[in-house]
Amino acid sequence: MNPATSNAQPGDPMPPPATPLRTLTIDHVGAQGDGRAREGEGWVSVPFTLAGEIVEVSGEGDRLKLERIAAPAPVRATPACRHFTRCGGCTLQHMAPAPYAAFKRDLILRALKSRGLEAEVAETWVTPAASRRRAAFAAKKSGKAITIGFHGRRSHELIALEDCPVLRPAIVAALPKLKEIVAPLFTGKEELSLQITETASGLDLHITGIAKQATRLARAEATGGALRAGFARVSLEGVDVLTERAPRLPVGLASLQPPPGGFLQASAEAEAEIARLVLGHLEGVKHAADLFAGCGTFALRLAERAPVFAAESARAAIEALRASTNAVPHLKPVTADVRDLFRNPLAAIELAPFDGLVLDPPRAGAAAQTAEIAKSGVPRVAYVSCDPATLARDLRTLADGGYRIIRIHPIDQFLWSAHVEAVALLEKS
């Protein structure tokens, strides 16, 4: 494969570069998924390259264009998608499976090292292809044409998506129907966001970015179009405007109805693996806490075994958790509170009743909350993270407070991206 500029397809003739080509040798793949090479006295990034490759590049600055691969690495793979290098969704389809999994694990190892931590890090669990059950597409109108897809790499260009090896097939199959659905909502050059989630009862559609000038009739036409296309629920700007079939997701014995746009794990398979690790670590707890609980991914499963206190700042998510809990008669009691754990973390004294807890904060981590956990006596903690840097920062706090890191499990939920999630299992000495 000889990827060229972000607008070229494999096999297309190479356009003449605007500046003379330079030859570089890629040293390693950086945290953003780009190859990193020495040029002069600094480092530069070259997209779609691998360690050891000799490449020719054009452009200036830290972000260069790959023009030709003079010597490909043995671990270079054939990309799974024809949109690769143009669509900004994937950055690592050109890396073979084994080094790809090792790269994800190494992201966590590097973050730990930066904080002076050592821990056992398991091999990376990789989500299957065609398993992502949620995606957010952009939609724009130019003249009479409507484009729906993902933005290009570091670009405002919208790449029309025709297929995707990452998404669930039902989501890909719904893409052609979306143009007719959203057409009435455009009033000018605005860009709509279309979030689609596959649920057990059908596809859930949430549309945001709608201009204030969009009329009630236009909104009704879009809603009717979604109904005819078979969507289970349609929400506009966070408001449920039509529920034909309540969207439901199985969570252990419970069935969760997510609020419009509410946080969910992107892959059901990844969620099941994360939950397996969390529940295994908290086996036998008498009173559990679920912090940054979302809609109850862990709380509902933990409540099959023990009473649970759940805290989350999003009121809609807590209401969804309460409704799910009330619908299952055999769960242990679940106390669900709306609470901003960034500004108002549970203090160490409030954590005293719990003998096990799980926390799953957003990318910013949980600095204030982990500081309180570090001062507490909670025996077992499972920390679910979507950012190695903030995970390592918070683990440093917990380690300094007397916690021992038993093991960290890398979870590759966002296939072929440079992102990695992790489940860190800790015990208080």
Q: Would you give the DSSP letter of residue 352?
A: T
Catalytic residue among 90, 164, 295, 386: 386
Spatial contact of 257 and 235, defined as CB atoms under 8 Å apart: no
Closest among 410, 409, 428 to 420, alpha carbons compared: 410
Angle at 199 between CA 193 and CA 204, to 5 degrees: 30
What is the DSSP code string of 215-270? -HHHHHHHHHHHHHTT-SEEEETTEEEEESS---EEETTEEE-PPTT----SBHHH
The distance of Cα 66 from the centroid of its chain, to the nearest Å, equals 27
Rounded-to-integer distance, Cα 145 and Cα 139, Å: 11
81 is catalytic: no
User: In this structure, what token pair is assigned to residue 408?
Assistant: 């960290």
Q: What are phi and psi of 61, to 5 degrees?
A: 80, -165
Taking the alpha carbons of 162, 167, 173, 174 in that order, is the dihedral positive or negative?
Answer: negative
Closest among 375, 294, 366, 287 to 333, alpha carbons compared: 287
Rounded-to-integer distance, Cα 109 and Cα 364, Å: 19
Question: In the β-sheet with 158-160, what is the strand arrangement from edge to edge?
Answer: 158-160, 145-151, 134-142, 192-199, 202-208, 233-236, 239-243
What is the DSSP code string of 30-92? -TTS-EEEEETTEEEEETT--TT-EEEEE-SSSB-EEEEEEE--TTB---S-TTBTTBSS-S-
Rounded-to-integer distance, Cα 7 and Cα 265, Å: 32
Closest among 329, 327, 324, 334 to 302, alpha carbons compared: 334
Provide the annotated active-site residues.
Answer: 386
